Each structure stands twice: as C-alpha cells, then as structure tokens.
Structure 1
Amino acid sequence: MAASESAEPAEPESEKAVRSDTPAVRIGLRPMASPAPLGFAALAVATLLLSLLQLDVLSYGDGSHVSMAFITFSFPLQLIACLLAFLARDGVVATATGILGATWLATGVIRLTLPVGTVTSPTLGVLMLAAAIVLFVPVAAGAESGKLLSSVVLLTAAVHFLFTAGYEITGAELWSAVAGVVGLVVFVLGLYAALALLLEDVCKRTVLPVFRRSVDGTSMGGDVRDAQGGVESEAGVRERL
C-alpha cells in the first residue's frame, strides 16, 4: 500500500507527444575579442582632431584633411566595431559606435562640400544636435546594465556634440572654444577606456578600473553559465525582435 502511494503519477500521453515532437535546439556562441577598445580609440582620434580644429591649433586650411581623416580613419574603424559588437551581443557598444561612425562620416562629407570660405554649417549643427540626443539612448542603457565607463565616455561625447552644434548653428567663438576643451576631455576618457578594456580583454582580468556593477559585473567574475544566462531571450535567438 505504501509503495503504491509513493509511486509518481503517470505522465499524460499528450505531454509525451509534445516532448517527442519538439526539436532540439543548440545555441552556438562564437568567442571573439572585444570590439569596444577599437571603437573608443577611433572616437578618441576623431575627437582630438575636431577639438584641435575648434581651438585653432589646426588652421582652417587643415579642415579638409580633418574631414578626410573622419571618413577614412574613424568611420571605418567604428563601423567594424559596430558590426562586431552586435555579434558579441553588446547592444550598447554596437549602437553607440554605429551612431558615432555615421556622425563622423556625415561630418566629413558635409565639411568637404561646404562652399569655399564657409566656416560653419547649420545643417551640420542640427546633425550634431540630433546625434548628441540619440547618444543618450546607449548612455542610459549602459548605465542600467552596469557599463559605467562606457556610459561616461559616451555622455561626454554627447556633450561635446552639443557644444559643437551650438557653434555650427550660431557661429559664436565661445561655443567653439568650450567644445574644444570638452573634446580634449573626451579624448582622454576615450583613450583610457580603450586601454582599460583592451588590457581586460587580453589579460582576462580587470587591470584598470572599468567601474562595472550589478549584472554586468559577472562578465569577468562569473563562470560561463553566468555569461550565457538568458541567451534564449536575446534578439538573435528568440523568434521575434
């Protein structure tokens, strides 16, 4: 009698049929180097060039060369970082580098096509203003997910774009000077972020502080199961975006 009471109830035939008909799904994750250092390094170089132009360290005649550097150097590198970041499941870096790369490309093209003798462009100002506002999206997402270093760099870059927009729209030299100073801060922060994240990627441990917190902190301190947690709900796996 006791044996019959402890026996587990039989599984319904309908559930057995559902389980047998459900195909097995295997999710493969491809190891790759972090694209974030490349994206931040490209941001640092482009911002330095623009800041030196805004502070009159580079002359007006160097403007076309700076524009070519945006198009041939910063844009391709940030495009590569953007695509690899999507593959690495890092939506914050992917979105940010995509926005930044497209902004540098558009900035270079607009400056190269300005009429001779024209210094500022209201169109470029509106573009910079829009890019600054849109950058707050990955800034907020990065802060929420614990990527504090990335959020600080992107936030400062957004502020730089805001002051640049003010100069391009109004033509006031004060906007240009302030934008140049903020741009130098972005250069330093971008260079630090690139170095810290690259050292972390190469050494497989945190060497310089990157200020991770909450869930994102398990990316270096947790095991492989922590990194794969919730992968079934990510955009590349779930049925609908």
Structure 2
Amino acid sequence: MMVAVVRDDEQVREPGQAVPGTEPPASPDPSARTGAGTGAGAEPDPHALTRITLRPIASPMPLGFFTVAISSAVTSSLQLGLIDGVHRQAVALTVFSAFVLQLLVSVLAFGARDVIAATLMGGFAGAWLANGLVTATDAPGGAKVLGVMNLVFTVFAALMASVARPKKVLWVLLMIAVPRYFVAGLHGVTGVSALGHVAGALGMLLAAVAMYAAYALMLEELRGREVLWIGRNGPVRDAMHAGLSGQLHRLEQQAGVRRTL
C-alpha cells in the first residue's frame, strides 16, 4: 500500500473527456503542455511533476523493547551472580544478537520517520556491540573502558529522556536506564562489587519495564487502540488519531524530502 501526495485539481478522465464545467479549447495550445506558458522549449513546472510516496511498515518498536528486556536480563544476571563469571564469553555472544536486532529496529524506525526511536535503538545497538566484543575478547582494561562508555551512555540516555516525555512509557524506561548505566559505569571504573549488584538490580527493573512496553505496543498494533497504558500525549497522541491530511502536514519539510538534513 502506498500513499501519494497529488494535486487537488487532478482527476481521472477518459481520453478526450473534457474537465467538467469547462469548454474544450478551440485548438491545442503547445505552451499549455509545457506547464510554463512561455512558448516552445519552456521547462515543465516541477511542482506539477513531483510525487511524494510513503511506504507504511509495521512498527519495529515491540522487537526493540523485547530485545532490550532479554539482553538486560542476561547481563544483569551476570552482575548479580546468577550466572557464574566464568561464563562471561557466553553472555557476550548472547548480547551480540541484541546488536543485530536493535540495529535492524533503528533502520526501520528511521524509515518510519521516528527519529527519537531510531536514535535510541541505534544507541543501544552500539552499546551492546561494544559490550559484547570487549567481554568476549577479554580485552585488557576492558572493565574500565566499558565503565567510561556506560558513563557517557548515561548522558546520552538523559538527553533522550528530555525529548521523549510525550512517549511516557519510553520516558519511564529511560529514567530507569539513566541510573542503571551510571551505576554500571561507576562499577567498571572503580571495581566496587556492591555497585555491580546495584546495577544488576536496576537492569532487571529495566528489563521488566521494557517487556511491559513491548507487550503494550504489540497489543495496540493488533487491536488498533491503547489496551495497556502507554501514556502518549501532545503531538505523539495526535499522530495516532489524526486523519491523513494531518499526517501529511509539512511533509515536504521532513528529512528525506527536503534538500538537506
């Protein structure tokens, strides 16, 4: 299915049929076919030839949130001691699959014109990849390097939370991710074992909220309405209920249509 933006005056007519309410011209006017009306050789009007086509896709966000939930539960189990430390490489290989899935979600979210979701899922994908590679290879100084990365990721998550308030369930998830990655960063830098257990507990809470968000979004997609609380408000809520004309408002100024990013 495709949605196209066309001119209001375009109508489907049989060959030779005149436009209703007008008289056919006495003779063909070559300048009318050029769209410029200034004589032979004039360029056609680019606005009359332009079409903007949208290709709807299924929402990738349930997959993204389920991936966050599963990977957070696995890594938190390692931090809490539920998985023995000798199995760190197995955990790292498991986390690598999260990188692949969340990268896919990010690409699809960019195609769906949701820059917040796309940026967040891309950020998570990069974090999972770094965590998995450093842990699997047991790189020297890996714990401290990952600690610094987690501290920087805390800033990223806080900035994302500041613009995600209209998506309340996403905002709640980020408000848990901020302290979770902050404590994990301190644990990596300082090596204090107690901080690792706190980060693991926060990671389990993050996994639970992500699991809820994924399930709520999936139910909404299946039933066409909000079943479990998601908490959309403002322009995000309007986007779920606005008509086609509202969805296409200022489409020509959005990324991918305008000349520059």
Task: Please report the TM-score for the alignment, with normalisation by the length of structure 2.
Answer: 0.79
With a CA cutoff of 8 Å and minimum separation of 6, indicate the structure with the bigger relative contact order: 1
The separation in 1 between residues aligned to 2:54 and 2:158, in whole angstroms, is: 29
Alignment partner of 1:23 is 2:43 = no
1:192 aligns with 2:212: yes
Q: Which has the higher helix share?
A: 1
> In the superposition, relative to structure 1, how do residues 57 and 232 fare at CA in structure 2: closer, same or farther (>3 Å)?
same
Q: Deviations over 1:120-150 (max 9, x none)?
A: 611110111112211223222222xx11211
Amino acid at match of 2:72: T
State the alpha-carbon separation in 2 of the partners of residues 16 and 40 from structure 1: 56
Q: Find the counterpart in structure 2 of residue 208 from structure 1.
A: 228
1:127 maps to 149
| Greater gyration radius | 2
* Whole-Å separation in 1 of the counterparts to 2:204 and 2:251: 38
Q: Match for residue 92 of structure 1? A: 116
RMSD of aligned Cα (Å): 2.1
Match of 1:77 in 2: 101
Task: Write the distance in 1 (CA, Å) between the matches of 2:68 and 2:223.
Answer: 23
Q: Spell out, residue by residue over 1:195-216, the C-alpha distance to the aligned partner (whole angstroms, 9 max, x if none).
A: 1111111222111111000111
Q: How far did residue 35 of structure 1 move?
A: 0.9
Distance 1:65 1:139 in 2: 32
2: distance between equivalents of 1:43 and 1:34? 16
The superposition leaves residues 149-207 of structure 1 with CA deviations (integer Å, 9 ceiling, x where unpaired) of 11221231232111111111101112111101111110110001101111111222111
1:97 Cα offset (Å): 0.4
Is 1:54–2:76 an aligned residue pair? Answer: no
**C-alpha separation between the residues in 2 aligned to 1:115 and 1:135?**
26
Q: Is this contact kept in 2: 1:107–1:124, CA < 8 A?
A: yes
Residue 115 of structure 1, CA deviation: 5.6
Give 1:138's match in structure 2, choosing from 150, 160, 165.
160
2: distance between equivalents of 1:225 and 1:158? 38
Report the count of equivalent residues. Answer: 222
Q: How does 1:98-177 map to 2 (within 5 A)?
A: 98-114=122-138, 121-143=143-165, 146-177=166-197
4+ residue segments displaced more than 4 Å: none
Specify whether residues 58 and 27 from structure 1 end up closer, same or farther in structure 2 by C-alpha distance, changes over 3 A only: same
SS at match of 1:28: strand
The unaligned stretches of length 5 or more in structure 1 are: 1-14
Query: What is the TM-score with the length of structure 1 in the denominator?
Result: 0.86
Residue 40 of structure 1 corresponds to 65
CA separation in 1, counterparts of 2:170 and 2:250?
Answer: 22
SS at match of 1:101: helix
Q: In terms of mean alpha carbon deviation, does 159-168 or 149-158 score higher?
A: 149-158
Q: Assess, with a 3 A threshold, how the Cα gap between structure 1 residues 230 and 137 changes in structure 2: closer, same or farther.
A: farther
Structure 1 CA distance for aligned equivalents of residues 156 and 76 of structure 2: 21
Distance 1:130 1:16, change over 3 A: farther
Among 177, 182, 190, the alignment partner of 2:202 is 182
Deviation, structure 1 residue 103: 0.4
Q: Contact 1:93–1:138 at 8 Å: present in 2 too? A: no
Cα deviation, 1:27-64, whole Å, max 9, x if unaligned, reads 11111111111111111111111111111111101211
**Structure 1 residue matching 2:164: 3-state secondary structure:** helix
